[in-house]
Amino acid sequence: MWCWRRMEKISWTDYVRNEEVLIRVSEQRNILHEIRKRKANWIGHVLRRNCLLKEVIEGNIEGRIVVTRRRGRRRKKMLDDLGDRRGYCHLKEKALDRIKWRNCFGRDCGPVILTDY
């Protein structure tokens, strides 16, 4: 955003909303795209490490976890919206190799769907 503000010669002290700046430079902001991009980057980072958070995502925590949800509603998993049809093992294998991960999700993460099966 700061780059577009500099291109339009808008001072940082001027009160110009980000939406107005985007209109001036003919750009659109896609919030869902940004959320998926950041989530894919974060998941790749977590899957490359050996930590408690990875254990939580994999569901390897011992004991009973009480989750309150409506009856009949499906449990939402962290990896559901990454679009991997082959499963978690395939996704984990790609995450361990950073080059393959970036080939699938890209640095700017277009649509977050695995394309290389």
Average pLDDT over the chain reads: 73
- Phi, then psi, of 92 in degrees rounded to 5: -65, -40
User: Against a cut of 0.85, is the pTM above it?
Assistant: no
Domain boundaries, the chain: 31-105
The predicted structure's pLDDT at residue 73: 58
Tens of pLDDT along 39-94? 878 888 888 888 777 777 766 666 666 666 566 656 656 666 565 556 667 777 78
CA dihedral 89, 90, 91, 95 (to 10 degrees): 100
Pair 58, 64: CB distance under 8 Å: no
CB-based contacts of 101-104 (< 8 A; 24+ apart in sequence)? 101/44
